[in-house]
Amino acid sequence: MIEDFIKKYQYQKKANLKKYNTYKIESLANYLIFPKDSQELLDLLKYLKKNNLKYIILGAGSNIILAKNNYDIVIKLDNLNHISINNDTIVVEAGYSLMKLAREVATLGLSGLEFAGGIPGQVGASVAMNAGAYKQDMSSIVESVKIIDDNFQIKTLTKDELNFSYRSSLFKEKREYICLEATLKLQKDDKNKIFSLMENRAKRRMETQPLNMPSAGSVFRNPNELFAGALIEDLGLKGYNINDACVSEKHANFIINKGNATGEDIINLITYIQSKVKEKYNIDLILEQEIKR
């Protein structure tokens, strides 16, 4: 029985995942497990594989849609949060907050993470999806990553091996791979200049994005030379809702939870938007968020 194995772990039974996802979707985890380090994570993964137990890994829950009302096992990497800084090189574990990291390196006069000041994800998931903003992304600063591969081997992969592309990486192809830590290369710059840029962007986000409502950021990737939000807005879909899942009136590439939206409501709204954009513009909108089934 899994409880016999995880008794040495930090875990919760019948945990409500509402506070662990930014859409604030109500969903339960029979076991919510917090490995204390990479070795505990590796041991846990081996046990789950051996016993054919299904699980999902949840970062900050900021770019995901919980599609199920109940999950058996959910693994959180919050305790993998160690960091070391050597001049302009940062080695940081997967569970570290990307926004926190962006602020901390700014105070040291290190440039390169200004784009991440408003991305509420963790480092591991941000590398995996090549998170970005303002025409920059993680691929611009990642030198290498340490991973657990599908054979439970810990390996280091260089940037060239990660197949980075727009909002994608090798982790999208190799779903079993798990990022443990990343080595980032930044540049020295004037910290007042860095903070000024970050503050200006934060002000712009407040003015243009529904940051006061539960959401998971941009829903769709931008098509080439176009903006997904503009296409959706031009179709008159701002404010369109399926139950409490609603297209934001402030930014059409955001879906907000007005109170009691389920994962199914959000997915149905996404499908509806995609069908309307395809019908009108013959463009296939690609989902930027990840559906956890």
Residues labelled as active-site residues: 167, 218, 288
Between CA 138 and CA 163 the distance in angstroms is 12
Positions of E strands within the chain: 10-16, 28-34, 56-58, 64-66, 70-76, 83-86, 89-93, 110-111, 132-133, 136-137, 142-148, 154-158, 178-185, 187-188, 241-242, 245-247, 255-257, 290-292
The encoded tokens of residue 29 equal 């985890």
DSSP one-letter code for 202 = H
